[in-house]
A and B are shown apart, each in its own frame.
Chain A
Amino acid sequence: MSNKNTEMLSVTGLSIGYPGRGKEQGMIFSGIDATAGKGELVALFGRNGVGKSTLLRNIVNLQKPIEGNIMVSGKEIGRFSPNELARTVSFVSTERISVNNLRVTDMVAFGRFPYTGWTGKLGKEDSAVVEKAVQMVGLAHLSHKNINHISDGELQRVMIARTLAQDTPVIVLDEPTAFLDLPNKYEIVHLLGRMASENNKTVLFSTHDLGIAIQEADKVWLMLEEHLAEGAPEDLVLEKSFGSMFSDSRLTFNDSTGEFRIRKMTKKKIGITGSGRGLSWTKKALERIGFEIDDNASNLSVNVVRENSGKFKWELHSPGKVKEYDSVYRLCSDLKTGFSNI
């Protein structure tokens, strides 16, 4: 809070909700305090319906807050003129835009809207900015393609290039990775990270892809039940904030791996011995099929052995019996079917 004035984007005491009057007004979330600095990639997390989109729409001034302040470059968002705001904050929503006869460059060129004259004609400089933006997102080869004829991942990049062309210090994106396949998700987030660091922009995006974001984001805004927690992803891990995000569900957050896992009903305890990669992956498999790892388990245990050839083998020790397996799969399927008789 002390360095509030140097922050690019700061939110104080914000309450958001549905617009309306009296009873119609629905408060979704209140008491939001958060900041984002220059050159930072900020990921916004939260459960479905917690109000991520509403928060973002408030930040880009598409919706008015119920109370509280949103400052961009030290100026209240409501005090910007429409054009000034358009030169300061750009936005990508979740809406899949489909306009006939609109080419990739045309779409990116929309970003120059706040800079062109009343005719909307692009100047030389504008065209250069557009071209550069298209290149930055790696779509130079598609620049003349109709936006209705490119993939979702490509379209998302076009929308991002548009914000680059708009040349705003703050870029806000609502779930840019939704509906994309895994490589595209990574690449989009990576692209956002590059935009933040290379172009010194403040990029705020909401997402559900925690793993990717933890790797790339400089900062996380985490919308919990009652308040918004912010910090580097690692800070939030150490504060156990992620764990509390889903505290009412069967999901648990593993502090050391940074992963969520469904809590399963454990039926039996099992001991495990061995070392290295073999040990950790076997543990995962055993947990998946419902065993609790307990080194004191006396009547059932697995020993992971690495042979000289580099291959692994597994020995299942049960009272009076030792059985050998050559894959985790075989071991697991035996353990599963054998639950009744082991």
Chain B
Amino acid sequence: MVPVEKQKNMLLFLLLGLLTVGLFTASVFTGSVHIPVSEIARILAGGEPLRPEWKTIVLDLRLPRALTALLAGMALSVSGLQMQTVFRNPLAGPFVLGITSGASLGVALVVLGYSWIFTAGHSLPGNWVLIAAAWLGSGAVLFVIMLVSVRVRDIMTILILGIMFGSAATALVSVMQYFSEEAMLKSYIIWTMGSLGNVSRTQMQLFLPAIAAGVTISLMSAKVLNALLLGESYARSLGVNISVTRFTVFISTSILAGTVTAFCGPIGFIGIAVPHIARMITKNANHRVLIPATILTGGVLMLISDIISRLPGHESNLPINSVTALIGIPVVIWIIIKNQKFSKMV
């Protein structure tokens, strides 16, 4: 790498880092209850605020929420990048393997009135049922994909099968929806709209390490991901072990996408749009640059989406999923129009 370029990248990462910190702070300092800035600063510094509930609001609501947004954005974006590289397809995202559909199936079973399937015999505490169900669902899909991937060499076949499994899971959810009460249906639909505010501090103790693990695996795969840009034949001729690589990438993608879906619901478009933004701003195909850029951009975009979804100054808020879509879609359209050759984007 040329020194000039290295400097340029450093500058870019510095900017993205500052943006992340800024947005994170903005997220902690805004909310539906007005708390004076000085009080928030006091709370963050470990002091006691004027009103005790402010401490709970800042430490138990706003911080976990901002952290959830940051981590979810990072996780979805980096898994989207991995899928786009592995499948050499610009429209791939974290959900092409059917992982989210699997998670949705698990959640639908719980929310649409079959939670006894998961709780029978023992009682899991509270919303862990939902998370466990989502994980089991995405894990099941991953398992099937892995079985197939051992026998099928062509990566495109796996892509198609992933989409098929996803559709099958969605169809099963529809069957359940059909037989469901209106109120439950509403509950499920609301789940599908996504939410960043439901991850508590206790859950963060699982959410954070899971995302960290997924991202670490991804960062460590930068080299092989680079080779996969040339396609699997070339990658093999460069000494890449394709089965091991697929295995690692699929595992980290499902840890990332599955965990985010389990804790926050299916959040769309971030995973597809952010890698393209990262490519555009870095002008680089190297995953050693692209992965960190994608991670930071994903965090930034999700924090922005979260702040918008809370409609500062308003009573109500918007579902996070519609905000990410409304932000993500124009980005994708803009990139298509600007680049024309969308098929050569990856």
- B:312-346 near A, CB below 8 Å: 341, 344-346
Residue A118 lies at the interface, judged by CB distance under 8 Å to chain B = yes
Count CB-based A-B contacts (< 8 Å): 79
- Stretch in A92-100, A176-184, A194-202 touching the partner: A92-100
- B residues with a Cβ closer than 8 A to A are 1-2, 220, 222-223, 226-227, 229-231, 233-234, 236-241, 279, 282-286, 288, 341, 344-346
- A:94-117 near B, CB below 8 Å: 95, 97-102, 106, 110-111, 113-114, 116
Alpha-carbon gap, A302 to B283, bound state (A): 68
- A residues with a Cβ closer than 8 A to B are 60-62, 82-87, 89-91, 93, 95, 97-102, 106, 110-111, 113-114, 116, 118-122, 144, 148, 166
A-B contact pairs, 15 of them (CB 8 A): A83-B239, A85-B239, A86-B238, A89-B237, A97-B230, A99-B285, A100-B285, A106-B285, A113-B227, A113-B238, A119-B288, A120-B222, A120-B226, A120-B288, A121-B288
Q: Are A97 and B234 in contact (CB under 8 A)?
A: yes
Q: Are A100 and B237 in contact (CB under 8 A)?
A: no
Q: A62-B236, A82-B241, A114-B238 are in contact. Are A100 and B346 (CB under 8 A)?
A: yes
A130 vs chain B, min Cβ distance (A): 11
Is chain B's interface secondary structure helix, strand, loop, or mixed overall?
loop
Alpha-carbon gap, A144 to B222, bound state (A): 22
Alpha-carbon gap, A327 to B300, bound state (A): 77
Is chain A's interface secondary structure helix, strand, loop, or mixed overall?
loop
A111 vs chain B, min Cβ distance (A): 8
Q: Are A95 and B288 in contact (CB under 8 A)?
A: no
Q: Are B233 and A62 in contact (CB under 8 A)?
A: yes
Q: Are B239 and A95 in contact (CB under 8 A)?
A: no
Q: Are B285 and A120 in contact (CB under 8 A)?
A: no
A95 vs chain B, min Cβ distance (A): 6
Alpha-carbon gap, A111 to B239, bound state (A): 10
Q: A119-B222, A120-B226 are in contact. Are A86 and B233 (CB under 8 A)?
A: no
Q: Are A98 and B239 in contact (CB under 8 A)?
A: no
In addition to A110-B227, A113-B223, A119-B223, 5 A-B residue pairs with Cβ atoms within 8 Å of each other are A83-B239, A90-B237, A99-B346, A114-B239, A121-B288
Chain B residues in 8 Å Cβ range of A166: 238
Alpha-carbon gap, A61 to B185, bound state (A): 54
Q: Are A148 and B344 in contact (CB under 8 A)?
A: yes
Alpha-carbon gap, A101 to B226, bound state (A): 12
The residue in chain B whose Cβ has the minimal distance to the Cβ of A84 is B239
Q: Are B234 and A120 in contact (CB under 8 A)?
A: no
Of the candidates A87, A99, A122, A148, the one having the most CB atoms from chain B within 10 angstroms of its own CB is: A99
Alpha-carbon gap, A19 to B286, bound state (A): 34
Alpha-carbon gap, A263 to B345, bound state (A): 49
Alpha-carbon gap, A90 to B230, bound state (A): 14
Chain B residues in 8 Å Cβ range of A83: 239
Alpha-carbon gap, A161 to B4, bound state (A): 24
The residue in chain B whose Cβ has the minimal distance to the Cβ of A107 is B230
Alpha-carbon gap, A97 to B239, bound state (A): 18
Alpha-carbon gap, A171 to B239, bound state (A): 15
Q: Are B233 and A93 in contact (CB under 8 A)?
A: yes
Q: A85-B239, A113-B238, A120-B288 are in contact. Are A101 and B283 (CB under 8 A)?
A: yes
